[in-house]
Every structure is written in C-alpha cells, then in structure tokens.
Amino acid sequence: MDILGLLYQNQWVVPYLKSVLILIAAFLVIGTIGRYLKKLLINSTLPADAQHILRSVVVYFLWFSVLMYITRELNLQEILVPLMGASFLIGAAVALAVKDVLSDAVAGVFIILDKHFDIGDEVETLNHRGEIVSVTLRKTRIRTGENTIVVMPNGKIDSSGWILYEKGLNK
C-alpha cells in the first residue's frame, strides 16, 4: 500500500502532518524575516530599543498568525475562544500595570523621532534646567548647573512640555 492510500484511510492524520510542515516552514521563514529586519533596521536612525521592539512586534505577529492558522486547521477553535478571553483579561491587567512604562516608551519614540532636542542641547522641563546627557526610550537624563544628573520619564516630559534654549546664550 502506498503512502497516499494510507493517508486516505487515516484522514485524521492529515491535519497534524500539515500543521507540522507549516510549523517547520514558519520557523524557517520567520527566522529569515527576523534576520532580514535586523539587517535592515541597523542602518536606520531608530535607537536600538525601538529597533528591538519593532522586530519583536513583527515576529510575534507572524507567529500569532501561524498559530491561528494551525488552530483552525486542527479545529481547536472551541478550546481557543475561552483561552483568548482569559488572555485578553490578563493582557488588560498587565497593560494597566505597565501603563506608565508604555506611556514613557511611546513618548520616547516620539521625542527621538521628532528630534525636538538632541544630546548637548540645553532644556528646561519639570522645573529642571540643564544639558541633555542622554535620551532613551523610557528616560531622559539632564545634567543641571550643579553637575547633578536628573533622570526624568519621557511621558512626563512630553505631557508637560519643555523649553529649548539656544546654544551659547547665558543662563
């Protein structure tokens, strides 16, 4: 008996074989896409944190799509609906727990991409005036006149605003 005849007699095996082949192909394709994105983003002006987040979002979305396809292929929708409901509630709880971190990260992306100020610029924000030392996704560091480093969350800087002083002017 040939393989096709055996598969025809055991129809329940076909979706599982198909799912295994899809997982193997997805592992290869998603890995290749992740490496290509890494090479593509290295030449961009995005900071390393933003590059990593963007790459992760794309890879997670692709894996989610593959898992949804396999779930449909194996007729597991009845099991998945309650799990998705529970994961939504867990996701909402986590989002509420880390809302400040997410706010800082989003504000950091806008601060970095909009280039309102750069390292070395003198700014005043949140009652602190000084020179920008570093800007990351979540925090901005300012060296004040007393040579103190003040670390401020980007979400608060973005919501409260700032004053940018021209270089070379007296304080």
Cα 134 to the center of its chain, rounded Å: 21
Asked if pLDDT for residue 155 goes beyond 80, the answer is: yes
Q: Are residues 19 and 83 in the same domain?
A: yes
Asked if pLDDT for residue 84 goes beyond 60, the answer is: yes
Q: Name the DSSP letter for residue 167.
A: T
Q: Are residues 14 and 52 in the same domain?
A: yes
Asked if pLDDT for residue 2 goes beyond 80, the answer is: no
Q: Are residues 73 and 146 in the same domain?
A: no
Q: Are residues 93 and 146 in the same domain?
A: no
Confidence of residue 35 (pLDDT cuts 50, 70, 90): very high
Does pTM surpass 0.75? no
Name the residue type at position 18: K
The range of the structural domain enclosing residue 139 comes to 117-165
Confidence of residue 48 (pLDDT cuts 50, 70, 90): confident
For 17, 40, 86, 155, the CA distances from 93, given in Å and listed in that order, are 37, 34, 11, 20
Q: Are residues 62 and 25 in the same domain?
A: yes
Q: Are residues 88 and 121 in the same domain?
A: no
Q: What percent of the chain has pLDDT over 90?
A: 27
Asked if pLDDT for residue 120 goes beyond 60, the answer is: yes
Q: Are residues 52 and 22 in the same domain?
A: yes
Q: Are residues 91 and 127 in the same domain?
A: no
Q: Are residues 83 and 148 in the same domain?
A: no
pLDDT, residue 67, reads 87
